[in-house]
Structure 1
Amino acid sequence: MKIPTLDKYGLSYEKVLEIIQPHKEDIVFISGSIAEGFSNEGSDVDIYIITKEGYEGNANTHAKEFSYGVEYTFLGYECLISAFVINGDMLYNIIYNIEEKIKSNQLVELNNKLIELYHRLYRGISLQNNQEFVHIKNKLDFEGFMMGLSKNRLVYSENRHDDAIGALNSNDLLTAFISSKVSLEKSVDGLLCAHGETNPSDKWLFKRLLSIYRIDCDWVKEFIDLYTGENKLVTLEEKTKEMLRLANLIRMKGYQLIK
């Protein structure tokens, strides 16, 4: 897999490794929007360090602790460099727990940070100790992961669809509109997960969509118009009903993929 360039940030991967200073035994990989080709001028350089020896930042870093690792932000460069440091044994436990949730259809219990971690492991590009990184990636059940997430998103979309119908029947148009918009968004999210686009960040929804489907596809254009408000439907009720119709069509596409 080709490593994307960091030239526009005035960086190279050798320079990034020099900045973050991992141990030689640490596994280091890049992931996030830059690795996936979604980045823009406001994007961070997202680095992961899998370590056995521990890690400490320096005076130019800001640390944020999580239950399973520490995220260091390196300041003073043209873009933010974020290094998420996780203990190797902790990572293996997380992978095992996620695999168990895949088998028991309990992925709904995962928070977005853990979903992001699993996604980024699979999409990550090695910068140091590639063989060890590939060994970890080979442990992932990514197909089960993406199918499980897809089903969760599609079921959630159906639930919001039912909420919208109930609100419409009660003439509660604002609630119906909000529920229908969420139903539409999650129907697309569920379809994308079935294609392997499991990034949980809402901000990349359109880029994820257009990485798979052409913008001139009828339902894609209709989704963008409805979701962004460009559609010229006259009333809130009409727009709500159109979003529910389209969400149902997209869910059908998603369910066909995960059968």
Structure 2
Amino acid sequence: MTILDKYNEILASPQNIIQELWGDKNIFGEPIIYLAGSLAEGFGNDNSDIDIYCLINPEQWNQLVERKENDSRGLKIWEKNHLIHNIYVDGYRMDIEFWNIDYVNNIVCNLNKFDFNADQYTTRFSKEDLDFLHRIKFGKCISNKKLFDKLYMGINFSNLGFYQVITGSEYFGSYLEDIEGAMESEDFGTTYIIGKILLDISISNFLFSVQETNPSAKWLYRKLQRYEDNIQDYSISEVYWSYQKFDRSKDNILKFVNALIESCTSINNKAQENLVKHQRGNEHVGQ
């Protein structure tokens, strides 16, 4: 049985994995449990693991901590409001994340009320928060579907994409300054490396603006591919692949990077146009 077969088996008959997670389920009330990650999103492969999320009430949190402290299996990563437990179940690798539902409700509230027209953006989300918010977007509930649906329907996922545009644009501006400094100092190798980073950032910003919100850089191509399949716009990938090979001479690096900066700026401007439309309450532009 492949990992995808196991994933589909859990979706169809989740009772065994729920028993594995909780034992006596009544100890923890009725947690929200759902599958997420690359398999749920359609990006996974035979080497993927199965990501399981469990959202529990704060009054059960201490009981969870005590139980996991006495569980010698696998690797545990402890955070203040969530716990990651990496274990093998029936020979399959599983990443199980336990989150305090009060903390989840807090980050959802902050996302929903985020002010895109503020002079300064004081509300910030951690990398873990953004990953959680994206993953629940593709979550497949296996326990407590009524509460899962209520939580899901209350999340403004459009705000998630445009928040990522804002933070990505901050990185874009910073790397643009860095590449200009490298060019002025004739550090052409660094100029080239920063240029490639700038290309990834600009494409990511555009994809965030059209609601491809997966924050992981490793899935850039798959996000771009999905956008193309949906919109039939292949211009971004044509730009991306056109900058993957070149002659490394000094003159060619300068020519390459100047053209790259122009292309990156154009792509990033599309993301900014979509952000402005969101700020005004209008639909984003696809191209």
Superposition TM-score tier, normalisation by shorter sequence:
0.7 to 0.9
Aligned residues: 253
- Equivalent of residue 209 in structure 1, options 224, 227, 231: 224
Alpha-carbon distance in structure 1 between the residues aligned to 2:193 and 2:241: 16
Q: CA, structure 1 residues 107+182, in 2 after alignment: closer, same or farther (shift >3 Å)?
A: farther
What secondary structure sits across from 1:230 in the alignment?
coil
Partner of 1:51: 56
What percentage of residue pairs aligned between the two structures are identical?
A: 21
Q: Which amino acid aligns with 2:21?
A: I
* CA-CA distance at 1:129 after TM superposition: 0.8
Matched, 1:27 2:32: yes
1:172-183 map, 5 Å: 172-183=187-198
The code of the aligned residue for 2:54 comes to I
Say if 2:114 and 2:159, in contact at 8 Å, map to a contact too: no
Deviates more, 1:60-69 or 1:202-211: 60-69
For residue 249 of structure 1, what is the aligned residue in structure 2?
266
The question of whether the paired residues in 2 share the 8 Å contact of 1:102 and 1:145 is answered with no
Where 2:137 maps in the other structure, the secondary structure is helix
Amino acid at match of 2:261: L
3-state SS in 1 of match to 2:35: strand
1:16 aligned to 2:17? yes
Change (3 A) 1:196 1:62: same
Equivalent in the alignment of 1:120: 135
Name which of 75, 78, 85 aligns with 1:62.
Answer: 75
Residues 148-199 of structure 1 show CA distances to partners (whole Å, capped at 9, x for unaligned) of 2113213422332232123213322123223222211111111111111222
CA drift of 1:247 comes to 0.6
Matched residues in 1 for 2:8 and 2:213: separation? Answer: 30
Of 129-138 and 173-182, the range deviating more from structure 2? 173-182
Q: For structure 1, which runs of at least 5 residues remain unmatched after alignment? A: none
- Bigger share in helix: 2
CA 1:165–1:191 in structure 2 vs 1: closer, same or farther (change >3 Å)? same
2:47 partner SS: coil
Q: Is the CA contact (8 Å cut-off) linking 2:203 and 2:236 kept in structure 1? A: no
The whole-number CA distance in structure 2 between the counterparts of 1:178 and 1:199 is 23
Query: Is the aligned partner of 1:184 residue 2:199?
Result: yes
- 2:144 matches 1:146: no
Q: What's the RMSD between the two structures over aligned residues?
A: 2.7
In the TM superposition, what is the alpha-carbon distance from 1:138 to its structure 2 partner?
A: 2.4
Q: Offset at 1:96?
A: 2.8
CA contact (8 A) 2:111 2:156 kept: no
Q: Distance in 1 between matches of 2:172 and 2:265?
A: 9
Could you tell me how far apart the structure 1 residues matched to 2:140 and 2:80 are?
A: 24
Decide which structure has the larger Cα Rg and report it. Answer: 2
CA distance in 2, matches of 1:8, 1:116: 23
How far off its partner does 1:124 sit?
Answer: 1.5
The structural deviation recorded for 1:207 is 0.8
Bigger drift between 206-215 and 120-129 goes to 206-215
**TM-score, scaled to structure 2:** 0.77
Deviation string, structure 1 residues 87-124 (Cα, Å, up to 9, x no partner) = 22222223234445555563783221111011122221
Q: What SS is found at the alignment partner of 1:50?
A: strand
SS at the partner of 1:43? coil
Instruction: Give the Cα separation in 1 of the matches to 2:171 and 2:75.
Output: 37
Q: 1:233 to 1:245 in 2, by over 3 A?
A: farther
Stretches of structure 2 that go unaligned for 5 or more consecutive residues are 277-287
1:194 and 1:216 mapped to 2: Cα distance?
15
Cα distance in 2, alignment partners of residues 255 and 106 from structure 1: 16
